[in-house]
Amino acid sequence: MSKQDYYEILGVERNANDRDIKKAFRRQAMKHHPDRNPDDATAEEKFKELNEAYEVLSDAQKKAAYDQYGHAGVDPSMRGGGGGFDGGFSDVFGDVFGDIFGGGGGGGRRRSSVQRGADLRYTMELSLEEAVRGVEKTIKVPTLVPCDPCDGSGAKKGTTAKTCSTCGGVGQVRMQQGFFSVQQTCPTCRGEGKVISDPCNSCHGQGRVEKTKTLSVKIPSGVDTGDRIRLSGEGEAGSHGGPAGDLYVQVSVREHAIFERDGRHLYCEVPISFIDAALGGELEVPTLDGRVKLKVPSETQTGKLFRLRGKGVAPVRGGGAGDLMVKVVVETPVNLNSRQKELLREFQEATKDGQKKHSPKRHSFFDSVKKFFED
């Protein structure tokens, strides 16, 4: 083995981090792999040097010893057999490239056929009142449940699944391609490690059957669109006795005829006559708890917001209730008879000379328009 500096072999600085070291080794290993350089007699030796350097620099303890004592710090003959490059380079190579071929360098480990069931999602529509106050609802969810006749095994009652003869129960088979040992899913048992020769007639060997479950779901008060409620273990059944997944109930609140919700607060619009807006008065305003009285001062303009504290929503995550924001909208009279129109014209004539006083916003606006065109 060459005693060239390990950092120089990988082409990295001495302060390189683990990610840089691994990236450099991957690049150099692909470049100098013997299978890629069949006519280069030095390729295998160079590749072994790369693996030796990576085996040391990728291990925190060995790297620290090498940084302090050099090659002597990781040489077994100098340290009574401790440390050093004692693993085959195929193990190191598998550690870096294992993700490409579906497994690490260790191999031989049986893949468990027991798998957790899939999670499910159910969208539940609620009215605003139900979302604010909370409600308990019954839902029906189509899902996969363990097969009763075979108790979820997939094998006919009285029989059992047999170990796959192709992979020996491992679920994986290896193929040798030059230097590489490629691991693939067993084509016979499809990675399960077992083969069912006499499948259950009810589930046809799947161990699970489709069924519609009826569940009672308690929705807490204060939920809003986008909130999720998790029902643990109410998802699909796991395969081969694996745990069931979860059911996520997704909340969707329908639009309301009167109120709009924004977090903790509610908003609504209340139309008022121009007489009430001018002279002031008292209005009945709807809330989720019933009607309340709202005093409107004289000379109220359209778009004015009134806040009713505590008449909003108490959030599901805690905290006090929000407010109800009432926006008044002045409604122009329609379907007037001749007498009513005559009275309005009299009113118009009576206020004609005092437009600046009675309609300040209108007067200010047209003054600005006049100035704009004059300039």
Phi then psi for residue 157, to 5 deg, are -55, 130
Amino acid in the structure at residue 260: E
Domain boundaries, the chain: 6-101, 107-155+203-254, 162-195, 257-328, 333-375
CA of 8: how far to CAs of 21, 24, 268, in Å? 11, 11, 73
Question: For position 194, what pLDDT does the model report?
Answer: 83
The rounded distance, in Å, linking the Cα atoms of 319 and 315 is 6
- Residues 72-100: tens digit of each pLDDT: 777 765 444 334 444 444 444 444 444 43
Architecture in CATH for domain 6-101: Orthogonal Bundle (1.10)
The whole-number pLDDT of residue 94 equals 46
End-to-end C-alpha distance for the chain, whole angstroms: 91
Q: What is the amino acid identity at position 53? A: A
CATH code matching the domain that covers 257-328, chosen among 3.60.21.10, 2.60.260.20, 3.40.50.2300, 2.60.40.10? 2.60.260.20
Q: What is the largest CA-CA distance in the chain?
A: 117
Question: What CATH fold (topology level) applies to the domain 107-155+203-254?
Answer: HSP40/DNAj peptide-binding domain (2.60.260)
Residue 279: which H helix or E strand, with range? helix 274-279
Mean pLDDT, each 10-residue run in order, the chain (375 residues): 77 88 85 77 82 86 82 61 41 45 42 76 95 95 89 84 84 70 79 85 86 93 94 88 89 95 94 91 91 92 94 90 94 92 89 71 70 75
This prediction has a pTM of: 0.58
pLDDT attached to residue 128: 95
Contact 146, 162 (CB under 8 A): no
Distance CA 206, CA 247 (A): 21
pLDDT for the residue numbered 101: 40
DSSP state of 178: T
Per-residue pLDDT, 129 = 95
43-57 vs 60-69: helix crossing angle, rounded to 10:
100
Q: Read off the amino acid at residue 122.
A: Y
- Is-contact 229 251, C-beta < 8 A? yes
CA triplet 46, 51, 54: central angle to 5 degrees?
A: 125
